[in-house]
Structure formats: C-alpha cells, structure tokens
Structure 1
Amino acid sequence: MSYFDTSSPNAKRIPVTLLTGFLGSGKTTLLNQLVQQSSMSRALVIINEFGEIGLDHQLFTASTDGEQIELSNGCICCSIRTDLAQTLRDAVWRFSREGQRQFDRLIIETTGLADPAPIVHTLMSEAKVARHYALDGIVTVMDAASGSTTLDRHEEALRQAAMADLLLITKQDVASTDQLEALRQRLAAINPSATQTLLDYGHIEANALLGLGIDDMSTRRADIQRWLGEAATHTATPHAPTLSPGALFARVDSAEVQTGMSPAAPLPDPNRHDDHIRAHCFVFERPIKAARLEAWLSLITSLMGHDMLRIKGMLDIEGRERPLVIHGVQHLFHPPVELEAWPGDERFSRLVFITRDIPRETLEMTLGDFLGG
C-alpha cells in the first residue's frame, strides 16, 4: 500500500493505549487509579508479567465494569507476542454478550523490560488484529528519582522513552529538584515530540491519556501541532539554513524542538548513553513529489527499519490541497490521514524521525539525493 493512499476503509476500531515504563516506575499504581474513573469503565486491561509467578495482577484492582487479562511467563514484546495476537483476536468475541462487545477501549500494561516496537508491530501487521484495533498512544512512566540512572543502564528504558507520545513522571516527591530537572531535559532531548506531565502521587485524569494517536485527528488541527512537537519551530532564523537546491528543506535541530522547557536551560551531555537515540526534524518549504518521497521512505525503512523507531509527518504533497499525516513504526506505516485544513497560517511539510544510531547526516544526504532535483 502507498504511504499516501487514503482510499483504505477507515472503520471505527478499538483504541489501544500501550502503558509502558521500566521496573518500579509506578505503572501499576497509575493503572489502579485510572480504571476507577468513569471514562475507563468500559476498558479491557491486558497485564503482561515476566516470570513464573506473576505479582502485578494481584496488586491490580479492576473497576466494577472493567475486565482484566493476564499474560504471564514471558515478555510481551518477544516470547509471547503470538499469545498477545491471539488474545487480541479472541477478545472481540470473548468479551461480548448477546452480540454486543463489552469493552470500548483496550489498555495493555507491559512488563518493565518490554520494548514497545514489537508490540506496535503486532497491532499493525497482524491483519486480524489491525482490523479491530488502532494504536491510540504510547504512554511511558518515568521515575523522577532513578530515571536518569535507568536510562544510562538499560536500552529498554531508552526505547520506551523514545517511542512515547506521553511521558508521565512519577515520584517527584522523593526526587531532588536537580534530579527532576535533569530527567526532564534528558527526556526532551531523547523525544522532543512527547508531552511531559508530572504526576501527583500517581494520579492523572484518564482523559489526558486518550486521543494521542492520529486516527481521530482529521479535524483536530491543534492536536497535530502537539503530536509533531516541532511544528512551531520553523522560522526564518540563522538556525534553519538551507541545505538543498531551491530551499527544498530546512534544518531544524533536535535541540531546537519545542519541548516546553526553558530556552535558557543547558542541553544534556551529548556523551551520555542516550546519544544513540536521537530525534531529527526536517521542514520542507516546497510541495513534495509523492513518488520521490515514497521511494525514499521505502529505501530507509528497508535498510534501517529496526533502528527507525518512529516517523511522524505532516506533508504538503504536490497536487493535493490538504495536508496528509503519516505515522510509521520501524518499517510499518499506519494508513495516512488527510486533514480538513492546514493548522496555522503556514503551509509546509514537517517530518520527525526518532532513530537509534542513524546519523542525521545520513538522512540529510539521502533526502537531498531523492528530493533535491
């Protein structure tokens, strides 16, 4: 299927929230209070545990109306991915009464060791799963006190932070001001397009976790700006030099991405472990030929798919009047969404890449080769 083909049927699917975060970050505490809220009363919860004896499901208190499934004795992202796919396929009929499905939303709480990418892959690539479910957002919980150390030591935590749509920071009451500020700056460098929210003793309104994906954004233009993160950064300043013939695209460094942090705040140490995972943002100042961009996306995802953690874009495609939103995870792409109108007054394309060990120069060089003519 073409990255830019909007002809595919877009039937209403069950929104899925992927709740992740490293061991001890506070996922179960968060989930317990979420499912007590009325907006989650018809949510189905899948809890993944690692090890022969599961504990998290015993600590989890389901709401009166909600349902719970436990996937145990394996990590959801690797050894029991087939179990997850089967569970998702079965849930549609298993939790139905008299032909009516008894849940309207799905929450998957992963083990703290899970890499989100294979789980998202299951949601998107399994035909019988993708027919019924749509990823609504990846929510990652970070511990304010130990989060920076965790990012130093564990690749899984880095990938969880890098792929998040929403970063929830817990335990600020036991963290120092310096620890909290250092973690926020570091998360902003790893994933500048994710919203950061400080939790008060693990509490947040459930609605803040909903509607993070693109399936329902066709008329919500302001949400696209937030989803891209860097949408407000493109201005005619010395920080956006022309890189290709005809000013086809301008450079927007990850350090310049809109993050909500103070502009005077020092940047994180570039020699930290998270130097492997980076956000790269590009702005295209002229309409793009769809065939050229599609050829380029096919090339980089086939060669670098495993390390291309997420791709987000709002595109001005030549011959189209309305903007097209694309979203990819590794080498898979969601069906594109066409917006009703351009957000703001400026009409230009934006592409955001979150990558592991892919130099920005590689993206710049290949972009110029494909699109600069």
Structure 2
Amino acid sequence: MAPSTPIPVSIVTGFLGSGKTTLLNRLLKDPSLVDTAVIINEFGDVGIDHLLVEQSNDGVIELSDGCLCCTIRGDLVDTLADLIDRLQTGRIRALSRVIIETTGLADPAPVLQVIMAQPVLSQVYRLDGVIVTVDAVSGPATLDNHEEAIKQVAMADRIVLTKTDLVDRDSPEFARFTTRLMQLNPGAPQVSAQDGEGIKAELFDCGLYDPETKTADVSRWLRDAAVEEHHHHHGHDVNRHDSRIRAFTLQHDQPIDPGAFETFVDLLRSVQGERLLRFKAIVCLADNPDRPLVVHGVQSVFHPPARLAAWPDEDRRTRLVIISRDIDENYVRRLFDAILDTPSVDTPDREALENNPLAVPGVRMG
C-alpha cells in the first residue's frame, strides 16, 4: 500500500575515497534503519558487506536485515518510482527511508532537484537532508584541488569527518581544517564517524518535519542562528575555491507582501539560479501572518511552498538562509530590502538586472 506519510530521503555524498561506503555499512547495521532502501550507481562500486539474501535481475537485492540495495535504473526518477510500485504491489513489505549515494565526483544538486521538482515524487518522498563525508587525512588537499568537494560541503546539512582516528584532533592543522569546513557551511554540524554508535541520530531526521512530534522543527532545519553567529564573528577566509562560497541570513520583522516576496524569489533564482546552492526560508506573509510559508530551493529549482498550520515558536520573523557561490551578499541584501520596501514593483528587465543587479525600476535604493 502507498505510504501514509512522505518517506524521508537522505543523500550521502563525498569525494572519492572519503568513506561513503564505510559509513553506509555502519548505518545499515543500525536496527532502527530496518526497511531502508539504499540506491547506488552499481553494485560493484559499493561493497555492502551484509549477507545478501536474494539478488534479482532487475537491479534490486535484499539484505539480511530486510533492507534493500538497488541500482539506478535508467534515471533516479524511475528508480524511486519503482520502489513505490514495489511497496504498493506488496513485493516489498515496508519502506521507511531511502538513502541515495552519489558518485565521488557528483554534484548533489540534480539529486536534490529530483526529489523537489517531480510532482508525483514530491508527494511520496520528502527530502530529509544531505550528508557529506570528508576525509580528515586528505580532506584539506582535496578541498584545495577539487572544486566539486567544496560544493559538496557547502550544500550539506550534516558533515561527517572520517578517518579522524588517523590524525591528531588536538593539532592546529586539524583545528584549521574544521574551521575551514565551518566557514564553508556554518549551518551544518560536524560529526566524527569514529565517535560512538549513536551516529545515526545525528545524521538523520534533520529535515523540516520532526517524525516524532509530527510538527515542523524550523530551528533545526533552518539553523539560521548558527549561520548568523558565524557571519558576525568570523568573516570569510580567502582560501582558493573557498572565497567563492557565501553563507548568510536575511531577516525581516514585519509581515511581507506576498507579491513582493514572490518577485524577490523569482528574480534571484532566474538571474542567479546556478549560483544559488541552497535557499531555506520561513516567511511571514501579510495575507495570513498566523500561518508562515516555508520555502526551500536548490539553484533554480524550488520545492512547492508550504504553509504551516501555525508558527512553531514565539519567533515570528521572516528568516532566510542562503548558501551561494559567486553571488555578492550585498547585492542580495539590497535587492531584498528594495523589493520588500516597494510591494508593487514591476519585474525588471532580466538583461538589465544581469548588467546591474541593483537597478530595479521603481525601487528606491536609499
């Protein structure tokens, strides 16, 4: 039968040799992850060390603990749809979670966009979070030499440090490395793969909805306080590719005109879409200030906005967290302030905006 609530999907990414397979094997031994499906590119690429109970010819194997391991069939959309078909037809007994492992050189954005943009899939699945593995031994050199690794870290919700048993965690070099990761993505907690058996609790259920309370946990999902604290106290370390990444927050105390906010989002994603790595927001709109709007985007693809039944806490400010690459933070702030100050602003010419992003017709720049 079809799931009564959307199935959480976690994406595990990380550069080649960073320990994704080791992490997957460890996670799949956790009893609480029974009825999990792991989607990989090829069985030969991931040495799942469980005892295999059944292997079929259609790219699905069943593990001894009831989990599934399946290869991408055609494309990811087909694979996710096939899992639901198996659930509905009784070929699998249950499906409580999906973990998607990307290749070592993969950009996680297209995988995120599949979950967010496909109308049918977005009703059945919900994005829980992006988990990135980073090698504590070779990680600094990898970040220096491979921009793909920088982007993987910047887009993550959780950072898993692997091979920390092979380095001196009290050394200045390790401190500089973890600080660098924090500068790239201050909103993503760092977890050591070697720390205890409770790693599952730190990596999963980091999405908007708390599966225990069935309510929205905006603070955990948005993590705007962590981003804001880093932004004010640390600044940006120019370190090769790192200087291209910016993580910052926007806030607004008063209810926002819906048309003005829609104009801001439309302009930002249409002109700067490829540079907009992650966009998370809870918004107080003037048409219904008691029911906040939740917005989540990856580059130019945005999940359909959702209204919460009520504010989750006493903080009713509009709060946005933006992680970007090659976007001037000041440009975004001035655009946000300018458009919100003039709800009836006309949509400016796209070419003119690209040449001068702050030249918004009809808007007083102050």
Question: Which TM-score band (shorter chain)?
Answer: 0.7 to 0.9
Which shifted more, 266-275 or 315-324? 266-275
Cα offset, 1:124, TM superposition: 2.0
Q: CA RMSD in A?
A: 2.8
Task: State the AA in 2 paired with 1:70.
Answer: T
CA contact (8 A) 2:224 2:320 kept: no
In structure 2, the residue matched to 1:42 is 35
In structure 1, the residue matched to 2:359 is none
Within 5 Å, which residues of 2 pair with 1:280-295? 280-295=248-263
CA contact (8 A) 1:16 1:105 kept: yes
Pick one of 281, 301, 309 that aligns with 2:277.
309
TM-score by length of 1: 0.78
In structure 2, the residue matched to 1:327 is 296
Task: State the AA in 2 paired with 1:270.
Answer: V
Within 5 Å, which residues of 2 pair with 1:173-212? 173-176=165-168, 177-200=171-194, 203-212=197-206
Pick one of 111, 115, 135 that aligns with 1:123.
115
Pick one of 51, 54, 61 that aligns with 2:44.
54
Within 5 Å, which residues of 2 pair with 1:145-294? 145-176=137-168, 177-200=171-194, 203-216=197-210, 220=215, 223-231=217-225, 255-256=231-232, 269-294=237-262
State the alpha-carbon separation in 2 of the partners of residues 101 and 85 from structure 1: 21
CA contact (8 A) 1:145 1:180 kept: no
Q: 1:114 aligns to what SS in structure 2? A: coil
CA contact (8 A) 1:92 1:101 kept: no
Q: Structure 1 residues 271, 20: closer, same or farther in 2, change over 3 A? A: closer
Which shifted more, 178-187 or 358-367? 178-187
CA contact (8 A) 2:250 2:319 kept: yes
Task: State the AA in 2 paired with 1:118.
Answer: P
1:25 aligned onto 2:27? no
In structure 1, the residue matched to 2:267 is 299
Pick one of 93, 104, 119 that aligns with 2:85.
93
Q: Structure 1 residues 215, 101: closer, same or farther in 2, change over 3 A? A: farther
Q: Structure 1 residues 60, 361: closer, same or farther in 2, change over 3 A? A: farther
CA contact (8 A) 1:288 1:316 kept: yes
CA contact (8 A) 1:47 1:70 kept: yes
Cα offset, 1:63, TM superposition: 4.5
State the alpha-carbon separation in 2 of the partners of residues 96 and 197 from structure 1: 36
CA contact (8 A) 2:255 2:284 kept: yes
State the alpha-carbon separation in 1 of the partners of residues 141 and 102 from structure 2: 21
State the alpha-carbon separation in 1 of the partners of residues 225 and 206 from structure 2: 16
In structure 2, the residue matched to 1:68 is 69
Cα offset, 1:106, TM superposition: 0.7
In structure 1, the residue matched to 2:320 is 351
Pick one of 5, 23, 32 that aligns with 1:12.
5
Cα offset, 1:369, TM superposition: 2.5
Cα offset, 1:59, TM superposition: 5.0
Task: State the AA in 2 paired with 1:294.
Answer: E
CA contact (8 A) 1:139 1:167 kept: yes
Q: Structure 1 residues 271, 170: closer, same or farther in 2, change over 3 A? A: closer
Q: Structure 1 residues 254, 232: closer, same or farther in 2, change over 3 A? A: closer
* Unpaired runs of at least 5, structure 2: 52-62, 343-366
Q: Structure 1 residues 267, 153: closer, same or farther in 2, change over 3 A? A: same
CA contact (8 A) 1:139 1:165 kept: yes
Task: State the AA in 1 paired with 2:189.
Answer: T
Task: State the AA in 2 paired with 1:68.
Answer: C
State the alpha-carbon separation in 2 of the partners of residues 205 and 97 from structure 1: 33
Q: Structure 1 residues 201, 316: closer, same or farther in 2, change over 3 A? A: closer
State the alpha-carbon separation in 1 of the partners of residues 126 and 314 from structure 2: 31
Task: State the AA in 2 paired with 1:54.
Answer: G
CA contact (8 A) 2:10 2:130 kept: yes
Q: 2:224 aligns to what SS in structure 1? A: coil
Q: Structure 1 residues 58, 211: closer, same or farther in 2, change over 3 A? A: closer
Cα offset, 1:130, TM superposition: 2.7
Cα offset, 1:332, TM superposition: 2.0
In structure 1, the residue matched to 2:55 is none
State the alpha-carbon separation in 2 of the partners of residues 253 and 41 from structure 1: 38
Q: Structure 1 residues 141, 55: closer, same or farther in 2, change over 3 A? A: same
State the alpha-carbon separation in 1 of the partners of residues 314 and 120 from structure 2: 41
State the alpha-carbon separation in 2 of the partners of residues 345 and 93 from structure 1: 42
Q: Deviations over 1:103-137 (max 9, x none)?
A: 22111111111110011112222334334222111
State the alpha-carbon separation in 2 of the partners of residues 106 and 271 from structure 1: 35
Task: State the AA in 2 paired with 1:67.
Answer: L
State the alpha-carbon separation in 1 of the partners of residues 222 and 165 from structure 2: 30
